[in-house]
Each structure stands twice: as C-alpha cells, then as structure tokens.
Amino acid sequence: MQNTITGELPNTRDLSGIQRFSVGFAKWSHKWIPNSLVFVILLTGVAAILSYALTPSTPWQVVQAWEKGFWDLLAFAMQMCLAMTTGYVVADSPQVKKRLYRIAALPNNAAQAIVMLTSVGCICFWLHWAAGLMGICLLGRAMLVAAAEKGYKLHVPLVAAGTYSCFLVCNGPSFPAALFVATPGHLFEKAIGVIPVTETIFHPINFIQMVVLALLLVFCAWKFIPPDAYTETASPEFLDEIRGLTASNKDAMDAAPASKSPAERLNNSMLMGSLIGLVGCAWIVWALWNKGAGALNLNTINFIFLMLGFVLHGSPARFVAAVGRAIGTVAGVVVQFPLYAGIFGLIKYTGLAEVLVQFFVTISTAKTFPVVAFLYSATLNMFVPSSGSKFIIEAPYILPAAAQLGVNPAVIINAYTVGDCTTNLIQPFWALPVLGLYKVDFKDILPFGFVVCMLAVVVNCIFYGFIW
C-alpha cells in the first residue's frame, strides 16, 4: 500500500479466511494478469485460431475478415468516448462538487459515512456510471477530510472499495448495451429490431433487481467496517492533498483570467456555454415530454450530459479545461476499440458466429439460457473489461442463440449487462481511477469486492433463473 494511510496493518493471521484468500488472489493477478491491451491482442489470436479451426475459412480469409471488421465500430467508439468524457465533465463541475462536499459533512461516525457513501453511490452509478464514478470518488475523499475534522476514524480501503463496488448496480440509463440496441440503425437491428429501454433498463423487474443488489452492497459495507484498532485512516499528507481540491468550491484551474482581448472575453463568457446548453436542454425536455423514456438511447444520453456540462461550467474556457482533465479516461477506448472491432469481424465474417450460436443452443434451454448468458458474460468480463466492446464481441452469437431458443432478447441484454457489472468488482481495469484517487492498491479493496461479487452472483442467478 502506498504511504497515504497511517497505523499498523493487521498481521495476516488476524485476517479472516476470505480476506487471506482475496489477498492471495490479488497477488496472483498482479503477477499473471497482463494489461487490457495485451488481453485484446491475445483474444484476437484466439478468435483467429477458432475462426480457422471451426469454419471453412482459409488463413488469408481470416485475415481479410479481421481487417473488414476493423473499422465497423468507429461510431460506437465515439459514442463511448463521449459517454465517459461528458460524465466526468458533469461530475467535475463546481456546482456538483460543492453539493458533494456538503453531503460529506453530514455523517458523524464511520457507519453513517459508509452507509451514506454506498447508498448515494448506488443511485449515482445507476444514473450514469462515468459521472457516478467521478462524483462518488470526490464524495469519498471529502468524507475522509470530514472524518478527520469531526474526530472519527474512517477506513480508507473500505471507502475505496465501497466506491468502486457501486459498479454492481450500474445497469441504468448510461450502460451501453441497452442503449445501443435502442438506437435505430444499430448493427443487430435486422436480427432483433430496436428494443426500447422500457423493456431493458426501465423494466420493473430490473428496478427490483438493482434495489436488491444495492441493499446487499450497503449491508456488506456496513458489516465490513473494522474495529478502530484495525482502521487504516488517511495520512496527514493525503488529507492535505485532498484539502487542496476541497478548500474551494471552484477548482483553481477554473478561475477565469482577467479578460483583455475580445477573444479572451469570448473564451470566458458565461453566456456562450450557458446559451448553447440551455437550447440543448430545451430540446431534451421536449423529447422526454413527447416520447418519455423511449427517447433515451446512447445518442440522447450523451447529448443530455454534453448540454449539462455546458450549463454547469458556463464559459467555453472552463468547459474545455474540464474536458482536458477528462480526456485521459478515454485512452483505452480510442486505442482498443478498433482491435475489438477486428475480433467482431472475425466472428461475423468467417461464420464463427453461427458455430457459437449452435454451441449455446446445444447446452441451453429457453429456461436456462438467461443464467448461462449472465455467467458467460461475467466470466468473459474478467478478460475483456469493457461492456461496450465486449458486447460487440458477444452479441453476434448470444442474440441469435436467444432467438433460436425463443428467449426475449431484452432479458439477455440485461443478463449480459449485469454479468459485466458483477465481476467488475474483482477486475482491476475500471478500478484504476479509484485506486489513484484514494492511493491504495487493488489488493486493499479486493476482499470486500470479492465477497460482494460472490453474493451478487447468487442473487442474479435467482433472478435470471426464476423471476425474469
């Protein structure tokens, strides 16, 4: 663990069996699990071998299929970049941060803080996973300062773990698979048509499922609060670093310089950004009023957060500065999506999709296929930790298999997404910004994430096996 936490760490013999197992799992992961770019290269090789071995394709036809799919996902990649960037920009606005700091000052002990953090986190992650991730990280950091000032101890690894584990319930309006199939003209429209979000994200059973998972998460976080003797509090240096961000409701980078030239006045004009944002918000109100939840798809969600970003930041200069801070979060999408599209091409254009369809049809029934789809998605997420790109890999055979078995594709879309959400808790890819902001290692948050993940697998299997 990095030097941001005070106090003695407990001896391994003082840890529970599940905690010792989790620490060992984390060490194994650090030693053997490569980064995500290496994974997609290895998966490309696996897909190419399967395409050659299981279909009539020649080696050169396999290469041609790979290249043919390489640029199929440019529009989708841009949509994902905007989703991550605009979510960050909204959470990074002075108005949002100001309210988060006020919330952080409300708890008076560790139990109240952890329950509030995870409860608010579940709501925020469900509404928008990228904005929720950034917002709850800021809230958790502010809570560490508030705890030190109020005189109670707050366990830094648990705050980080509670923040990250809110991914469990992010099957909401920003998750890409449901929005993708709700967007007219999507890649699989001929096979399944356009599925409105009222049948996936906003289905009553999905609401109930997300509430059950949220209650499970909050309960586990409360039970994981350690005794004071084992609480690893934030170091004074780390608290000072956080105070540098929270001492003012406006980021110092947002301060507008004295305007002298016409160009500078335009750059820092609150009217410019606010005006375009308000016009956009007017269209959003009109669309929701006339179409309700059916108006929501990947494009409209991105448009909503883009316009909110303009309104909240006001001037073009502040908006551009926030985008600059957010842009690092999309590096993986920009570089890796073409490679994932290449895998999509291998599956689609060599006939491998039909082979995989028959495999899933053979091992499943209409009753068991939702559980199979959930478990398969959860497992593959450990190796392809990107819901959007992984969906493009899986959809060409998962959705046709559902059609052959007579399973509602909307249920499979939800099962796919929840599988991703569940094993994100034990996959370090999306945890990287959390680890950086709290300055902890993945092994510090894995014990909590592992326990919640295993319990969530049971809950989700019950839902997809007996309720959906």
Let me know if residue 56 belongs to a domain.
yes
pLDDT at position 381 is 76
Is the pLDDT confidence value at 390 over 90? no
Q: Average the pLDDT over each of 81-90, 250-259, 416-425 and give the range with the smallest value.
A: 250-259
Work out how many domains the chain is built from and give that number. 1
Q: How confident is the model at residue 400 (pLDDT cuts 50, 70, 90)?
A: confident
Mean pLDDT of the residues in the chain:
82
The boundaries of the domain holding residue 51 are 33-240+269-467
Say if 401 falls within a structural domain. yes
The predicted-structure confidence for 321-333, as pLDDT tens digits, reads as follows 888 877 776 776 6
Flag whether 3 is in a domain. no
Tell me the per-residue pLDDT of 374-387, one tens digit each, with 9 for 90 and over: 998 888 777 665 66
Q: 114 in a domain, yes or no?
A: yes
> Within a domain: residue 1?
no
Percent of the chain exceeding pLDDT 90 equals 31
Q: Is residue 5 part of a domain?
A: no
Q: What is the mean pLDDT of residues 27-42?
A: 71
Q: Which of the four pLDDT bands, split at 50, 70 and 90, describes residue 252?
A: very low
CA distance 417 to 390: 10
For 160-173, how does the pLDDT look when each residue is reduced to its tens digit (9 = 90+)? 999 999 999 988 88
Residue 10 lies in a domain: no
Residue 115 is predicted with a pLDDT of 96
Residue 265 to residue 243: CA distance in whole angstroms: 31
- pLDDT bin (cut points 50, 70, 90) of residue 391 is confident
Q: Percentage of the chain with pLDDT > 70?
A: 85
In a domain, residue 9? The reply is: no
Q: Is the pLDDT of residue 123 over 60?
A: yes
